[in-house]
Amino acid sequence: MSNLPDWARALGEPLFTCRIRSTPDDFVVTERLVIEFSGEGEHDWLWVEKRGANTAWVADQLAKHAGVSSRDVGYAGLKDRHAITKQWFSVRRPSGDGTDWSSFAAEGVEVSEQHRNHRKLKRGAHRGNTFQIALRGEDVDGLDEQLNERLLRIAEGGVPNYFGEQRFGREAGNIELGRAVLAGKRFPRNKRSIGISALRSLEFNDELSTRVVDGTWNQILVDDTANLDGSGSVFAVDELTAELEQRCNELDIHPCGTLPALDKIGVKAAHRPLRMRVGEIGWQRKDDAFWLEFQLPKGSFATTVLRELVRY
């Protein structure tokens, strides 16, 4: 991703250079979503494991099999293509008889669980994701202690909440797409959205990098907007108090950066936490790889954690 800036790291230089995603089996993502199924209703909820397939394509295959529109398929979030991912989909039942999912077939996709529910699965309904990632390198011997120390710092203090490189597309092409949108060029809605998101994400990452260099990415400042951990709730910081500082140190609240407004096309400003909590982080050695496991809140990127550890 040489077309992107090398945004500042909070924890120092990467410990070693490694390979990730050597095969889909090296990058496993499991969605975390708590739901009580009604047992009836017009939607089938499916627990799907996919390998080497993107979420939107899987949704299209499910819709085709059920004989419904792709708009009738719901999922909580987009998951990595070059990985094994496990996530929920909902599909509207075309009739009271429902759909025979035992006969569903699509390359790299398996439906392993099915429930009936009253409502469609909405975007952002999940709590987050669990990641299991293999870091494969040639010179990893003797690094166990350093890795332990770095992971402890991440567990205690989080990491800068950068948007990952996948937000910007191959060779950062989504940024140019966004600039073309602002210049007035017309695109389909989904491409337009991708370009706009990339532009705003670039500005957010630049702002966050400046705060990392200043050493304030994990501190609440006067006139900041603060985010309540694990929620979309934000509030203005008009006065800095000892209580707010303590809550920030305990990762209960985080300072926010800005996803800028694009007035020309009617996009309003929004806020995103500058810091990301990393939960249940640990590792083990298997053969020639370090295997990491950790949990992230929705909207966060595993590669943002990895860049504080390794170059890949």
**Active-site residues: which are they?**
80
Do 81 and 53 form a contact (C-beta atoms < 8 A)? Answer: yes
Do 240 and 216 form a contact (C-beta atoms < 8 A)? Answer: no
CA-based max dimension of the chain: 61
**Residue 162 host element (H or E):** none
Q: Which residues pair with 89 in a beta bridge?
A: 46, 75
Letter for the amino acid at 273? P
Q: What phi-psi label fits residue 140: left (phi over 0), alpha (psi between -120 and 50 degrees) or beta?
A: alpha
Do 51 and 108 form a contact (C-beta atoms < 8 A)? Answer: yes
Residue ranges in 98-166 assigned as alpha helix (H):
144-157
Distance CA 129, CA 4 (A): 26
- Tell me if residue 269 falls in helix, strand or coil: coil
Do 20 and 136 form a contact (C-beta atoms < 8 A)? Answer: yes
Do 149 and 304 form a contact (C-beta atoms < 8 A)? Answer: no
Tokens 């690094």 sit on residue: 143
Helix axes 189-214, 173-182, angle to 10 degrees: 110
- Tell me if residue 171 falls in helix, strand or coil: helix
Do 151 and 277 form a contact (C-beta atoms < 8 A)? Answer: no
The pair phi, psi for residue 37, each rounded to 5°, is -85, 140
Six-digit token string for 170 = 């191959």
Burial class (CB in 10 A: 0-12, 13-18, 19+), 170: exposed
